[in-house]
Amino acid sequence: ARMILMTTYMTGEVPFKHVYLHGLVRDKNGEKMSKSKPETCIDPLDMIEKYGTDAVRLSMVIGGTPGNDMRIYEEKIAGYRNFINKIWNSSRFVLMNLPEGQTDEEFKPSMVKSLADKWIVSRLNSLTKEVNKEIEKFRFSDAGTKIYDFFWSEFCDWYLEISKGELQNPAVLKHVLENTLKLLHPFTPYITEVIWGNLGKKTLLMAEEWPKHSKKLEFKD
């Protein structure tokens, strides 16, 4: 409120059109984190040092909704560190299976071949539509959860396993990874930016165009 009043007074402009407020931050047992009770607090810098910034960011976003209290504790952050490792390892698999010179090739619907290809491309396309809706409505936790579930359960557990056999399609692997990195970037900016660079990209991921739903990539059958 003070920033709004001071900025309006000094510049004649309103600084914010939207303000996103989270609830109280609580410890594992539901107690409010308070300076008067140091045992309830965890130092974010210590957690960043131990588990990485992206894991701390995810633990603060996923599970937190406007007006509702959130619980933050070390085991939760450690769990998201495992997800960050999953992003890194799956990206390495994709990079290892990309033919030389294919990193800059533009993706076309005609590159989708097998039933597995159609399934994962359709799921990514639907996910993009869902995430865009959630973000527009400021439901960041729901958006993050949907990306998390897609990446771990569908892309890694299913499509990457299928891609270890004769149905491997590097073009689809690259397409899904690139667009999932874009969706993940607001939540985990550090690891996604590094992987984007490893893909041979000459521009920063944060400057890329945000993914959009495409009817050409719907394979309902």
| 35, pLDDT greater than 90 | no
With 0-12 / 13-18 / 19 or more C-beta atoms within 10 angstroms meaning exposed / middle / buried, residue 78 is middle
For residue range 89-106, list pLDDT tens digits in order: 999 999 999 887 666 678
Using pLDDT thresholds of 50, 70 and 90, give the confidence band for residue 4. Answer: confident
Which pLDDT value is given to residue 85? 97
Residues 6 or more apart in contact with residue 119 via CB below 8 angstroms: 159, 219
- Determine contact, residues 42/73, Cβ cutoff 8 Å: yes
DSSP assignment of 35-79 equals: TTBGGG---HHHHHHHH-HHHHHHHHHTT--BTS-EE--HHHHHH
Which pLDDT value is given to residue 102? 63
| 206, pLDDT greater than 70 | yes
Using pLDDT thresholds of 50, 70 and 90, give the confidence band for residue 202. Answer: confident
pTM metric for this prediction: 0.89
CA angle 53, 175, 62 (to 5 degrees): 30
For residue range 130-142, list pLDDT tens digits in order: 999 999 999 999 9
CA distances from 147 to 50, 127, 138 (A): 24, 7, 15
Which pLDDT value is given to residue 103? 62
